[in-house]
Amino acid sequence: MSVYFDNAATTPLAPEVLDAMVPYMKEHFGNPSSIHSHGRKTKSAIEKARKKVADLLNTSPSEIFFTSGGTEADNFAIKRSIDTFNLTHAISSPLEHHAVLHTLEHLQKIGKVKLSMVNTDGKGNIDYDHLRDLLQGNSRSLVSLMHGNNEVGNLTDMERIGELCKEYQALYHSDTVQTMGHYVHDLQKLNVDFVVGSAHKFHGPKGVGFLYVNADAKIKPMIYGGAQERNMRGGTENLYGIIGLAKALELAYEEMNEHRTSIEQVKLYMIEQLKHKIAGVDFNGESGNLDKSLYTVLNVCLPPTDNADMLLFNLDIHQISASGGSACSSGSDVGSHVLRALDRPKDRGAVRFSFSRYNTKEEVDYVVEKLAEMYTVSDLS
């Protein structure tokens, strides 16, 4: 059996999404900036896709900007908000995706901002009282706190953060890459200035995403050199990627409750089976708590072993695809910055299993069986 449990890294393309994209790969190929009929047709398709995304998020199409993905969108929001509004202070957490952390750390290094890290507890939960203290004790700030953690699944309270930011006139950016398409984001009800989506996290194509920019937080362009995206991002649009993104998000919203129920059942079943089959198993962050974590992510803390670094290798031998953390860090030997921040023991193997609507309990049985064999028979040797 081959099992794909790495959906937080990327999801398989939904067949309906491919069907929507193919005509724009084969027949409707005009440059959207061209004024002839071929160009007008594709320009119209992009604007319909933009309106679809905006409608789903309950906002205006003028506040949606298509990008190459989540990393660009995060950079766009952070760099340009600091530059546009002359901000000198930013607040984030040590658990953020590197698209956020590395960008803010670079801006601090070159003297653009002072960076403050909000306190988190041993499970990775935000200390909201400390966030208030940081907002109160500094100049106008940019707050960048993700909605759902890509490694341990912790959810933040976007409404609470938004109200604090409103109280202290801070700008609020949230990396919503892991929750977009899995949770409802009503942008009329949230006091948030920037949110981010990446199509390949909700069964859309790779290489395309979007940034929502609140009309009250209009920022400077990210890429100069063309009038695309209303002069905010020069360069010929990823036409069929944008079509696929809108279709994928539409499907995600239409079937969200059904998919959530299905995925939660798989996650809960895996928690139960791991506890039953492997003594001493634990869960990193809040990922084992369905009320406080992404229903798509389970970060498993396995019993101590001298061969914890062989865990993913052994899973791969059995055709099980999972992750030790963020896919953006795989292949490097630095380990997970999130698990380091949570001070997790190094002799305990950590595996992030992440699920989609295509996963089954039968796959869970296979994965748990192989893990149990490793720990009771071979001890990963």
Tens of pLDDT along 12-66? 999 999 999 999 999 999 999 999 999 999 999 999 999 999 999 999 999 999 9
- Confidence tier at 349 by pLDDT (50, 70, 90): confident
Q: Which domains does the chain have, with CATH numbers?
A: 3-11+255-378 (3.90.1150.10), 15-254 (3.40.640.10)
Tens of pLDDT along 104-131? 999 999 999 999 999 999 999 999 999 9
**Which tokens hold the place of 153?**
């699944």
- Confidence tier at 83 by pLDDT (50, 70, 90): very high
**With contact defined as beta carbons under 8 Å apart, do 243 and 251 qualify?**
no
Contacts 24+ apart (CB under 8 A), 327-335: 327/6, 327/8, 327/9, 327/10, 328/71, 328/97, 328/98, 328/99, 329/98
Known catalytic residue at 328: yes
pTM of the model: 0.94
**Which tokens hold the place of 178?**
């892991």
Catalytically annotated residue among 328, 360, 366, 372: 328
What pLDDT score was predicted for residue 328?
46
State how far the Cα of 146 lies from the Cα of 161, in Å rounded to an integer.
11
State how far the Cα of 188 lies from the Cα of 243, in Å rounded to an integer.
24
Tens of pLDDT along 210-246? 999 999 999 999 999 999 999 999 999 999 999 999 9
